[in-house]
Structure 1
Amino acid sequence: MAEADRRTIAEGNISGIELMRAAGSAITAEILARYPCPLAHILCGPGNNGGDGYVVARLLAQAGVPVKIWASAPPRESSDAAIAAAEAEAIAAPLAELSVEPGALVVDALYGAGLSKPLGSLEEAAFAKLHDAGAIIVAVDLPSGVSGDSGAVLGAAPTATLTVTFARKKPAHLLLPGKVLCGEVVVADIGIPDQIVEGLNVACFENDVRLWGAQFPKAAVDAHKYRRGHVGVFSAGPSATGAARLSAMAAARAGAGAVTLLSPANALAINAAHLTSIILRRSDGLPEAVEFLEARKPDALVYGPGLGPHPETGRFAVHLLNAARGLVGHIVLDADGLTASAPFAAELFAAAREKDASSLVLTPHEGEFGRLFPAIAADKSLSKLEKSRKAAAEANAIVLYKGADTVVAAPDGRASISTNGTPLLATAGSGDVLSGIVAALLAQKMPPFEAASAAVWLHAEAARRFGPGLIAEDLPMALLPALRALDAQLA
């Protein structure tokens, strides 16, 4: 965004002080529309974020709202912020002397998205006073102390009720803990042209319908079941069959025309007792699996749910990826398949780079990510977004790094961040359902990055529509209203 500001100014679209005035105007409009303002406290830093705060102070005063300005440091001489401070025609008190009444309205304009070093005791003490007073905090761009790149807290940060940002959201608005600290996020237009932002070749996106809707599959008039895609799901033995069935049912509900459950002989009866529309096929090892691949050439496979974190599970994953070359378009590796593959990661990733290799989608939660990518996971300097991108490049795979702020990353650097995550999905088996949705969309010829992103969105949307009481068994059927609403939106 700093570069977008610079290009906007350089191309003569608008000056720096005019951008600052536009930002302050947008923030002021949100405040006046939402909050009664007997008094507003404006916290200003020395940079452009503080300049926005001085504009807010001036405009609120002009609207008849008394203001108090508290500054951590004066604006830099001859800067746009200095101009804004002069236009405010108010004397700023030192931030160290901050005093606010209970329930006060506070505008946090200390530091914005470009913060690169931890805040100190001065700001920490101020934030503690705001917390104790139960202040209503409106953050400019981001709550001060939140890294715009990672969402991490650098030293200290307040919890905002509302955050007003400009032109586009930043990763911190969607990544934890920044996502929580921002409160409601409003994106204001301050005059930065869309073509300038688009010209920056940004490769990080909010994960919503705008990203992947154009690629979402629609069945052709003359479609038959195999043209709608065939998904194979590997089942575990008799004591752990449920996870694979969840994946299989989710794949069917998400649009795959045919789903085959590959079951060991000793689990065939158990699986048969629970399945109706899912094809059941015996598979006790690699030869029988390869026989299935050669005979049916499924479009996508799910490997991992319920299989157990055993070395043989990991070895089989590598063998499967090699055997599937030229036969299977995509393999989704999930759950135990990820943990068990960790000792064989180098072989797995090498297989994913072979000519005609199936595209690989990895769906780790935090623990599985740490086991599969230990060096990347251990690097505390990296955000979840950066970790996902590095992992995708290392594995030559789509990495779907799960959590309340799920990130989907592609080897080419593209990434999406979840916008609709919900704690309702924190239930055993929900990840198995997600792997089935991913496989179904892949089988229907959706590109891998878009398929994984769409699956994450659908998974959460189904849970949100279902509401409290959700368990994993509910999720395949809960997809129905989400899919119907999406179909109407895309019509």
Structure 2
Amino acid sequence: MMSDLSDLLLTPAEMAAVDAAAAASGIDSFSLMERAGSAIAAAVLRLHPGAQRFVVLCGPGNNGGDAYVAARHLQESGAALTLFHLGDPSRLKGDAARARAGCASQGQELGLYRPEPGDVVMDGLFGAGLGREVPAEVRALIGRVTDAGIPVLAIDLPSGLDGRTGKVLGAAFRAQNTITFMTRKPGHLLMPGRELCGHLEVFDIGIPARIVRAEAGGVIVENTPEAWKGVLPAEQLETHKYKRGHLVVFSGEADKTGAARMSAISGLKAGAGLVTIAAPGAAMVANAAHLTAIMLHPVDDKPQLEGWLADKRLQTFVLGPGFGIGDRARGFVSALAERHLVLDADGISSFKDDPDQLFALFKGEPRLVLTPHEGEFARLFPDIAGDDALGKVDKAVAAARRANAAIVYKGADTVIASPDGRALINTNAPAWLATAGSGDVLAGIIGGLLAQGLPAFEAAAAGVWLHGEAGQRAGKGLTAEDLAVEVRPL
């Protein structure tokens, strides 16, 4: 196991460049394959000590070479083993051919495998190198293995999974365990890849970290504090509430005030110095009945808002939760064009008929954060959402560049993207965060961080991470109110 490179996510193309650079530096590439194969064999023996037969599936490339080495080690250990190959193994080249030559079992054609009770499948067909849909015979095999409930250990990635996007290319194995080398791929974290990989282990096979880091683009990484802690404001003894930022959250009408309150309390608990709910006059009483630490200010229309904005201390806003869709939302956003804004829910949907109207307001230094779920994303960016050639990271980055905004593309694999091309994949959010009002809490947390001076992208990323941590603390069965209570400052 390794940890030195645990922060990196390398695309398959970047990992191929690492392999090439390692070979160019004088490292024997077959020795790397030998280490990979021995790690796989050790893992499968550890994970499945009661297996009656190990079924090794060998593909036509280096993933298959790793599998041949693993098969040799399993044979030497005395394990029962059957090997099946895809295509003509005599056409293998380089390290893969050498690995096959060292394996006593020459194997059978892939289509001949029929699952039996007690089998454990070792999937070495494609790994991360697949860029097209799996062939029909592989699709049929995946179906047989899945139907039989045979446990699968995947080498690098479950075959049929795109290592860059996490998408299924026609069909893919659902692995209990996946063994990969040096670093993870985006496809290990993006859905549905994350689920299909099962338990993921990363093994160091001896490529120097300097080579790996030199070839890593560093554009896509996991969303952890390492990605944004460098911009956190220093805590100072001599401070006051305005130095910690004033966050304003807009409320909906009298019968739709709860969402704004959850955003407001979340922003306050995330560290904003003070928080005000700006509410229509008719909603003041409904809000006042539930607030103590949160202030209230009446704002009914755009002129009233513009008058209030003469106070230049008002720099950060959340608009959308429970606000309502329509002209009023669009007017308020236009009044806030020079301020920092988290636009969520109804605020996003208010621009579905003319997204460019929104994007034109926020030029220059990014100060807008958009927090769309799948449907809202498609309303603002229909062409990007509909491009099946793009993965979720690609879509989020394209949207961030178009909108000149930090994008929080929500879901089980939330992606946070910046207009400069950076992207983070979030992994700490529990499944039970998928509940009504959870997004209102997230918007408030991001707003609270923006109010404290974090740049838009870092505020969005840190907010998503804090949201996940709060969900972990609140536990299964949480409500949005429970979640807001568990928000902690950075």
Q: TM-score of the superposition, structure 1-length normalised?
A: 0.93
Deviations 1:349-371 (A, max 9, x none): 12211x4x661100000000000
2:73 to 52, 59, 70: 59
Aligned counterparts of 1:358 and 1:290: Cα–Cα separation in 2: 22
Question: For 1:255-404, what aligned pairs fall within 5 Å after superposition?
Answer: 255-317=271-333, 319-322=334-337, 325=338, 328=339, 330-353=340-363, 355=364, 359-404=367-412
Aligned counterparts of 1:185 and 1:64: Cα–Cα separation in 2: 26
Q: Determine if the alignment matches structure 1 residue 447 to structure 2 residue 461.
A: no
Aligned-pair CA distance for 1:51: 0.6
Question: For 1:93-172, what aligned pairs fall within 5 Å after superposition?
Answer: 93-172=108-187
Aligned counterparts of 1:4 and 1:336: Cα–Cα separation in 2: 45
Partner of 2:421 in structure 1? Answer: 413
Aligned counterparts of 1:35 and 1:215: Cα–Cα separation in 2: 45
Aligned counterparts of 1:390 and 1:227: Cα–Cα separation in 2: 34
Aligned-pair CA distance for 1:132: 2.7
- Relative distance call for 1:282 and 1:312 in structure 2 (3 A) is closer
- Relative distance call for 1:165 and 1:339 in structure 2 (3 A) is same
Amino acid aligned to 1:43: L
Amino acid aligned to 2:78: G
Deviations 1:11-31 (A, max 9, x none): 22x222122112112222222
- Relative distance call for 1:380 and 1:311 in structure 2 (3 A) is farther
Aligned counterparts of 1:420 and 1:27: Cα–Cα separation in 2: 27
Q: Which moved more, 1:31-40 or 1:105-114?
A: 31-40
Contact 1:331–1:358 (CA under 8 A) maintained in structure 2? no
Partner of 1:472 in structure 2? Answer: 480
Deviations 1:155-184 (A, max 9, x none): 111100001112211111111111111111
Q: Which moved more, 1:240-249 or 1:289-298?
A: 289-298
Q: Which moved more, 1:455-464 or 1:209-218?
A: 209-218
Q: Determine if the alignment matches structure 1 residue 31 to structure 2 residue 44.
A: yes
Aligned counterparts of 1:158 and 1:230: Cα–Cα separation in 2: 50
State the identity as a percent. 47
1:426 to 415, 434, 437: 434
Q: Determine if the alignment matches structure 1 residue 225 to structure 2 residue 241.
A: yes
Aligned counterparts of 1:457 and 1:60: Cα–Cα separation in 2: 42
Aligned-pair CA distance for 1:426: 1.2
Contact 1:315–1:341 (CA under 8 A) maintained in structure 2? no
Aligned-pair CA distance for 1:460: 1.5
Aligned counterparts of 2:40 and 2:456: Cα–Cα separation in 1: 39
Contact 1:247–1:435 (CA under 8 A) maintained in structure 2? yes
Q: Which moved more, 1:127-136 or 1:261-270?
A: 127-136
Q: Which moved more, 1:144-153 or 1:207-216?
A: 207-216
Aligned counterparts of 1:148 and 1:131: Cα–Cα separation in 2: 21
Write 1 or 2 for the structure with the bigger share of helix.
1
Aligned counterparts of 2:468 and 2:427: Cα–Cα separation in 1: 9
Aligned counterparts of 1:209 and 1:290: Cα–Cα separation in 2: 37
Aligned counterparts of 2:40 and 2:308: Cα–Cα separation in 1: 61
Determine helix, strand or coil for the equivalent of 1:42. Answer: strand
Contact 1:114–1:148 (CA under 8 A) maintained in structure 2? yes
Contact 2:157–2:180 (CA under 8 A) maintained in structure 1? yes
Aligned counterparts of 1:83 and 1:450: Cα–Cα separation in 2: 48
Contact 1:162–1:184 (CA under 8 A) maintained in structure 2? yes
Aligned-pair CA distance for 1:217: 4.6
Aligned-pair CA distance for 1:142: 0.6
Aligned counterparts of 1:397 and 1:369: Cα–Cα separation in 2: 13
After superposition, the CA RMSD in angstroms is 1.6
Aligned-pair CA distance for 1:103: 4.0
Q: TM-score of the superposition, structure 2-length normalised?
A: 0.93
Aligned-pair CA distance for 1:291: 2.9
Amino acid aligned to 2:461: S
Q: Determine if the alignment matches structure 1 residue 244 to structure 2 residue 260.
A: yes
Aligned-pair CA distance for 1:218: 5.3
Aligned counterparts of 2:369 and 2:305: Cα–Cα separation in 1: 19
Amino acid aligned to 2:341: I
2:465 to 457, 462, 466: 457
User: Hey, which bits of structure 1, 4+ residues long, moved more than 4 A?
Assistant: none
Aligned counterparts of 2:101 and 2:169: Cα–Cα separation in 1: 30
Aligned counterparts of 1:178 and 1:334: Cα–Cα separation in 2: 27
Contact 2:53–2:118 (CA under 8 A) maintained in structure 1? no
Partner of 2:30 in structure 1? Answer: 17
Aligned-pair CA distance for 1:194: 2.1
Contact 2:321–2:440 (CA under 8 A) maintained in structure 1? yes
Aligned-pair CA distance for 1:128: 1.9
Aligned-pair CA distance for 1:446: 2.2
Contact 2:61–2:92 (CA under 8 A) maintained in structure 1? no
Aligned counterparts of 2:242 and 2:118: Cα–Cα separation in 1: 61
Partner of 1:46 in structure 2? Answer: 60
Partner of 2:204 in structure 1? Answer: 189
